[in-house]
Amino acid sequence: MTELDVETLRRCRRGNPAALGMLYDCYRRPVYYLARRMVGEMEAEDVCQETFIAVFRSVAKFEGKSKLSTWVLAIATRVCLMHLRKRRRLNTAAEPTDAAEAEPMTLLSPSHELLNKEFLKRLADAMDRLPENQRMVVSLRSFEEMSYEEIARAMNCRLEQVRATLFRARCRLLKFLEGH
């Protein structure tokens, strides 16, 4: 993921529309992807907008302690979680839980290991069937720069939880892919 340069960031803080546009273009794709994975296509655009409104409003407070991309994705994570909470309040249907069940380890047969369109489609379907927190961790981890620590900070949880959740998510994805 590309990062904005210091000068553009400075202009963003001063509300320069061109710089804000660059920030938006730079991070729209990952934010949209995360939103679509987490809340689905219908609400993804809303999450995207809410995220950027929050980002633009607080960009002046960004202290540079983390990468800008991590900071933006942390805001997007919070907006996604807020949407999911709202949806849970409206919808009583139970979300698949992330119980610490011992997933039997499933391995991909060599034929699956090609990253072809079919595989990606099935992986996307499998990801949609994951519990929220597993989906969130896998989605955030898809952005190569997000370390466990950064994911933990974005999701407001412990680093060990990220490690375990990501592992469980991968096991479950493998199970879905093999069982397809």
State the residues that interact with other proteins by CB under 8 A.
13-17, 20-21, 24, 28-33, 45, 48-49, 52-53, 56-57, 59-60, 105-108, 112-113, 115, 119-120, 123-124, 127, 138-139, 141-144, 147-148, 163-164, 166-167, 170-171, 173-174, 177
Give me 127's structure tokens.
């990801």
CB of 56 to other proteins, least distance (A): 4
Pick the closer one to other proteins by CB: 57 or 158: 57
Measured from the CB atom, the residue of 17 and 91 that comes closer to other proteins is 17
The least distance separating other proteins from the CB of residue 94, rounded to whole angstroms, comes to 25
CB of 74 to other proteins, least distance (A): 16
* Smallest distance from other proteins to CB 111, Å: 11
